[in-house]
Structure 1
Amino acid sequence: MKNYHLSRHSSFYAVGLSYKKADASIRGKFSLDVPKIDAVTLDAKAQGVDGLLVISTCNRTEMYGFAQHPFQLIKILCEHTKGTIEEFQEVAYVHKNHDAISHLFKVGTGLDSQILGDFEIISQIKQSFYRAKKLEMSNPFLERLCNSVIQASKRIKNETEISSGATSVAFASVRYILDHIPEIAHKNILLFGTGKIGRNTCENLIKHTGNEHITLINRTKEKAEKIGGKFQLTVKDFGDLQSEIRKTDVLVVATGAQLPTVSKALIHNKKPLWILDLSIPKNVSDDVLDLQNVTMVHLDQLSKITDETLEKRKKYVPKAQQIIAEIQSEFVAWLETRKFAPVIKALKNKLKTIKEEELDFQSKKLNDFNEKQADLVSDRIIQKITKQFANHLKNDAVDTEESLQLIQQVFQLEIDTK
């Protein structure tokens, strides 16, 4: 795979951290919003990284790219986030070449999600590739890889029931509310933030609680009004946040802020208050726990809620893995073909040069020489010879690198590195 790029020392790496080893506070330090993703990508471009895909969600931050060493990517990430290299290395994983490809397939098909079969990540991969392309940091390898992962994700959705049943962080938060808060239909609920999880939670709250006392607040009121109108909710100004918290029984925080937006200073409730923080980094300060009447639950605790739905989903993992193996092997076959395509092309050109010299010689030597027929027969022979070489190189039992070198030496080929 290293020959795919101009630098023979460049390998394909996946570096990142996820919910598996990094808790919410560490993930928060390494989370990236869209402007930061662009800054990371442009920095990598300036440092000679050839192709980069950056993914940052509430569960993971990952970089996929070609580099001479994975530390090159880790250093760039740490320079653009609040986390240190030491903190990253404690919880990080690094995958190289085929392992990095396998990891992206696992992530993109929901097999590595905090809640098995959660396909939210695939839209993140699509957006990440779009940003890479926009900043001229994509290449045919990344494009084909992302398309293959998207294809695998679609097939798993269509051919298995791994994403069946209502299981997501948004649903888990509503399950928590239903299980822990009595008479929820009559309680006041305040939703602060209109991120994707917030919107989904809102929809689930309406569907499962039958509550008509839901208020929505967002920094940008237009966004809140758009969702509020869709679900017929009360929408209040951002300036009313403190007074609305005072009235509410349940506060759901789902903003995309990089720093806590809700702290002890905002809360003056005399009655019990449940707070659900569905944000990464955390948007509710830990100091709210100093208040006796406050119960706080974070997204990570909610994600641990397992039920029969998840048990059912596990049955479909082998089928999903089979689909991934099939599409991944097609991708690897394409990759191998790309590796030897320049050599086959150079071989074809060399044989054509030999053919033209020979036809030119024979046409001068023989009076009744039929150049048209000789040209046709020669081209067919060249086609068959190059096909034999291509089939040989595709054979799994063959050392492709050794064979490529031998073909280049025997035919004294000049390879077009472009």
Structure 2
Amino acid sequence: LAAFLPWCGPDFRESALLSTCNRFEVYGVPVGAARDACALMVGRLADVGGLTREELEPHIYQKEDREAVEHLLRVACGLDSQLLGETQILGQVSQSLAAARASGTTGPQLTYLFSRAAHAGKRARSETEISRGATSIGHAAVTLLEKELGDLSARTVLVVGAGEIAELAVRALCEHAASEVWCINRSMPAAQALAVRNGCRARPWAELPQALASVDAVISATGAPHAVIYAEDVEPVLERRQGLPLVLMDIAVPRDVDLAVGALPGVVLHDIDKLEATLDRNLRRRWASVPRVEDIISTETEVVMDWLHGRDAKQLVAELRERARSVADAELGGALRKLNGLDEDAQEIVARMANRIVGKLLHQPTKRLKSRASSEDFATYCDAVVDLFGLTGEPLHKPEGLTEAGGGG
């Protein structure tokens, strides 16, 4: 990925990559027309992936200008994620900007855009419930466990199983700073691999009774077609617990923990039905927040567009004034040579008059140009000024000049 950014080279003033588990996006400020730049991006993405353009194009989406700005803001706010409102993307947006800075490929426009996107993402999460509440079974189990036991930093939790759901539970326990996390599975190598990946401790299946006697809680998530923990497994260890409650979270389908276990004294059993009801409530809360998040995105998009238009207006005004001054200076020099014999005071008066004429002639066009910076016809105004006054700046067409190409899976 790092090798891709320098390839943008002279064709892009600025460029940045955003790469996550399900997206690879390239943001750029092109030198020429945006559509030509998008075609160039697709060609280079194909080269990086060892594909032909024809193979890659069906998987590519392209956005320009306002659409590119709005898209990045939606991504940062979690509306374009596989899991609505997930928080990891916000850090990835910031990391993308940092990587572009380190590669020397970013500039004022992308720096402002990505910084504003991160700001929008923070607003969405602080002002709405778009990221509130667990939305995965593993995280929901740990959240409920925390409600039962309080702070997990002094608790030992046993995770039964070594599959995807079990690993999500292990990661959630680590995120919640559980004191110790033990992994147990009928396959010891699988338990060891899970433990190594997450910095935990693996236990052999034969030690299940000892583990049940020692831990504060159990999260069970095997793929077994039948229960793996029965009342006869749990009842003998309850005396050894000396009255300490044992909390079991059964998040397997079908159930890992026989229902009779929940009837034992000193045992608290939660099953997946309760957790799924919690997840449904949390997800409904998140979806209910989407309109408010979209309002934030709309507001922040306007802020970005106003800044980009204003920046273009300032650059064009500066070039227009510089061109007028150069013409005035050349004419003034020729006039003063013909008016040979003027003293310094008279020459100064003539020079000030020339400057005032330039200023007065440009005052209204400058004012109008700046006032149109946020209007839809701003590009037309800019192109007209460039054409009428013979300026060197390229016609803007799309004033902010941003483009983005990417793919997801």
Category of TM-score, reference length = shorter chain: 0.5 to 0.7
**In 2, Cα distance between equivalents of 1:220 and 1:46:** 45
CA offsets 1:332-381 (integer angstroms, 9 cap, x no match): 22323344444322221133235546766589697764649758856864
Q: Which residue of 2 aligns with 1:388?
A: 367
Listed as ranges, the matches of 1:1-400 within 5 Å are 37-42=1-6, 44-45=7-8, 48=11, 51-65=14-28, 66=30, 68=36, 70=38, 72-81=40-49, 92-167=60-135, 171=139, 187-189=158-160, 200-203=171-174, 213-214=182-183, 234-235=200-201, 306-356=279-329, 361=335, 369=346, 371=349, 381=360, 384-385=363-364, 387-391=366-370, 393-394=372-373, 396=375, 398=377, 400=379
Structure 1: gaps (5+ residues): 1-36, 179-184, 226-233, 237-242, 254-266, 274-292, 295-301
**Local SS of the residue matching 2:62:** strand
- Residue 130 of structure 1: CA displacement? 1.8
1:55 and 1:62 in contact (8 A); partners too: yes
**In 2, Cα distance between equivalents of 1:84 and 1:172:** 44
- Residue 211 of structure 1: CA displacement? 8.0
**In 2, Cα distance between equivalents of 1:189 and 1:412:** 74
1:351 and 1:382 in contact (8 A); partners too: no
Q: Higher relative CO (CA 8 A, sep ≥ 6), structure 1 or 2?
A: 2
**In 1, Cα distance between equivalents of 2:27 and 2:44:** 12
**In 2, Cα distance between equivalents of 1:93 and 1:188:** 41
**In 2, Cα distance between equivalents of 1:169 and 1:57:** 22
**Local SS of the residue matching 1:152:** helix
The one-letter code sitting in structure 1 at the alignment partner of 2:283 is: L
CA offsets 1:104-159 (integer angstroms, 9 cap, x no match): 11111111122222121011111122222222332333222211211211222232
**In 2, Cα distance between equivalents of 1:171 and 1:317:** 22
**In 2, Cα distance between equivalents of 1:395 and 1:250:** 55
Q: What is the TM-score of this pair, normalised by structure 2?
A: 0.57
Task: Report percent identity of matched pairs.
Answer: 21
Q: Which residue of 2 aligns with 1:411?
A: 389
**Local SS of the residue matching 1:114:** coil
CA offsets 1:164-215 (integer angstroms, 9 cap, x no match): 223358525758999xxxxxx985447799xx978742336776xx985348
**In 2, Cα distance between equivalents of 1:40 and 1:198:** 36
The one-letter code sitting in structure 1 at the alignment partner of 2:182 is: H
Structure 2: gaps (5+ residues): 147-155, 185-190, 209-217, 230-254, 257-274, 396-409
**In 2, Cα distance between equivalents of 1:164 and 1:101:** 25
2:324 and 2:358 in contact (8 A); partners too: no
CA offsets 1:266-319 (integer angstroms, 9 cap, x no match): x9xx9969xxxxxxxxxxxxxxxxxxx99xxxxxxx99x951112112222222
- Residue 62 of structure 1: CA displacement? 2.8
